[in-house]
Amino acid sequence: MYLTDAGVIAEQFQFRNENIGTRLKEWVDEHPDKVFLHWHPFTGEGRAWTYQQFWDDICAVAGGLQQRGIKAGDKIILHCDNCPETMISWYACSLIGAVAVTTNTGATATEMNHFISTTESVALITQPKYLEMLSRFEDQFRWMACAELNSDMSAGDTTAYPRYESFSSLYDKTGSVVLADCGAMTPAGIVFTSGTTALPKAVVHSHGNWMWSATQGPNNIDMRPEDVMLTHLPFFHVNAQMWSTAIALGVGATVVLLPKVTVSRFWPIVQQYGVTHLSMLPLIFNVATQNVPEQHTLKRIGMADLEAVSKMWKARFHSIFGSSETIIHCLCTNPHRHYPERSLGSTVPGYQCQVVNPETLEMSQPGETGELWVKGTRGVQMFLEYYNNPEATESAFVDGWYRTGDGIKLGENGHMYFTQRIKDMIKVGGENVGVEEVEAVIMQIPEVAEVAVVAKTHPDLHEVPVAYVICAEAADPDSLESKVFDHCREHMSAFKIPHYVCVVDDFPRALLNKIAKNKLRDMAEKL
């Protein structure tokens, strides 16, 4: 009944009778010859798509998907680094009511098996460098396609994998695509959480979610039609999908797509394309502080931690705070106002936010730290659901409030300041790493009797995992460190692997023999 009510609310919202396809087509009709997408690869020639050319490409691919039996509701895995094929495929799926499932390209085979089985995906689009790992799952798909405009240094060899079609073979030139009449609650995409447990959850985003991002997002960051958004964060993250691309499309602006950003490429690319907006992680900021030009085009830069950077760049930084579940920034600083240092700003219109004591469930008072709770309409301001996981969906909400798990200090005049993660989470270079997942993987090693994973601060990555392990009886403690590293490399994405493994006789303990992780964190900082 809740989602039915949400659907009614969405239909009464300002984008009723709209979906992703209708919004994009409006801009195609308005300025067909304006450049929508610039692709800037590592090597080789880049390419640009006008709004009309991008529309023609996604319609052709959408028609090809239908010819291969893809229908509304079907899931397609997009396992690619940033490349044009990813964006074309994602929007092609949206036109026919299919669901694009974007997966972390750093995933192991174990994690990929979870992604595929959880979403019940029927087809796969990937890149040559991932064929070897993904070939073990080929029996689970009706068909598979391999992208050609690769984001890697080389295209790779596909001859050993005959089941894969070329991405260009997906194009239907007959114009036979039948566009779906998608409503606000129609699923459009699935992204995965980094996982606070051993099983990352599949976050479902609707057409209404995308429309909300395209409608409210530009207001948050002062995005205008003449502006240029740099999309360099991975497209399998909500930032690239909803914050960057959808926001730019919301006002008919231009997107510059990169495989990823490097020191030598950042400022030349900003200058070449006249980039005005981007989201930035602390790691990227540390890289880009080198050789800042006296004059540049950047106007709005979103970060979660501002700490005295605006003057250095001569650009307006604004704090943004959100998650895959909140679609866009639920907290944001207004680019035209002054805020106290490190303030996350205040609640974005359309959301309700409150800071709650996680133990007493009472509202926090100014000066107190609690957990951030966010409320909005499911399928509009908030994610639709965790796919095929009603228990997790239900437990994420309390009386309609989504419990973020983020620790927030409540300041005066409604200002909020990030303090820590209530949920046991480590932020590694912009990626969330759940310590329970890392601990569960390490506990698979027979020689490990007990494990505790904590965060250690890092100058570039913000935080990195540190694993403290107790050796099982009769096991060799001298070889345990290498065994832990080897096992983690096999079963976890690279960013989740501990940077340090420390074999100890025992852990510092608190009441009831609980591990005193605060003391372990202090120990980790001295490594």
Q: How many CB atoms neighbour CB 69 within 10 A? A: 11
Query: For residue 78, what are the domain limits?
Result: 51-182
Computed on alpha carbons and rounded to an integer, the radius of gyration of the chain in Å comes to 23
**Number of domain units in the chain:** 2
Residue 314's pLDDT is 57
* Residue that finishes a domain, picked among 136, 152, 182: 182
Nearest to 104 by CA among 213, 202, 209, 208: 202
Please check whether residue 37 lies inside any domain of the structure. no
Residue 311's pLDDT is 53
Residue 512's pLDDT is 44
Please check whether residue 62 lies inside any domain of the structure. yes
Residue 71's pLDDT is 97
Please check whether residue 158 lies inside any domain of the structure. yes
Please check whether residue 325 lies inside any domain of the structure. no
Nearest to 310 by CA among 300, 321, 323, 320: 300
Type of residue found at 95: L
20-30 vs 207-221: helix crossing angle, rounded to 10: 50
Tokens found for residue 148: 């050609």
Type of residue found at 436: E
Please check whether residue 296 lies inside any domain of the structure. no
Helix, strand, coil percent content, the chain, rounded in steps of 5: 35, 25, 40
pLDDT tens per residue, the chain (527 residues)?
234 454 445 445 566 678 999 999 999 999 999 999 999 998 878 999 999 999 999 999 999 999 999 999 999 999 999 999 999 999 999 999 999 999 999 888 988 999 999 999 999 999 988 998 999 999 999 999 999 866 554 555 667 788 889 999 999 988 889 999 999 899 999 999 865 444 689 999 999 999 999 999 998 888 999 999 999 889 998 989 998 999 999 999 999 999 887 777 888 999 999 999 988 765 566 556 667 777 888 887 766 545 445 555 555 666 778 889 999 989 888 767 777 777 888 888 889 999 998 778 889 888 888 899 999 999 999 999 999 999 999 999 999 999 988 888 888 777 788 776 666 678 888 787 878 789 889 999 999 988 999 999 898 888 999 999 999 988 899 999 999 999 999 998 999 999 999 999 998 876 445 687 878 988 999 99
Q: Which residue has the tokens 């209708």?
A: 22
pTM of the full structure: 0.81
Strand pairing class (143-146; 329-332): unpaired
**DSSP strands (E only) in 210-268:** 228-231, 254-257
Give the CATH number, domain containing residue 510.
3.30.300.30
The residues pairing with 414 across neighbouring beta strands, listed in sequence order, are none
51-67 vs 20-30: helix crossing angle, rounded to 10: 140
Nearest to 189 by CA among 199, 204, 174, 175: 204
Q: How many CB atoms neighbour CB 208 within 10 A? A: 32
Residue 396 to residue 155: CA distance in whole angstroms:
42
Residue 423's pLDDT is 63
Please check whether residue 163 lies inside any domain of the structure. yes
Please check whether residue 84 lies inside any domain of the structure. yes
Q: What is the DSSP letter of 414?
A: G
* Residue that finishes a domain, picked among 157, 182, 207: 182
Residue 381's pLDDT is 93
* Residue that finishes a domain, picked among 132, 147, 182: 182
Give the CATH number, domain containing residue 87.
3.40.50.980
Please check whether residue 43 lies inside any domain of the structure. no
Task: Tell me the three state secondary structure of residue 468.
Answer: strand
Residue 163's pLDDT is 84
Task: Tell me the three state secondary structure of residue 59.
Answer: helix
Residue 150's pLDDT is 62
Residue 157's pLDDT is 61
Residue 169 to residue 146: CA distance in whole angstroms:
10
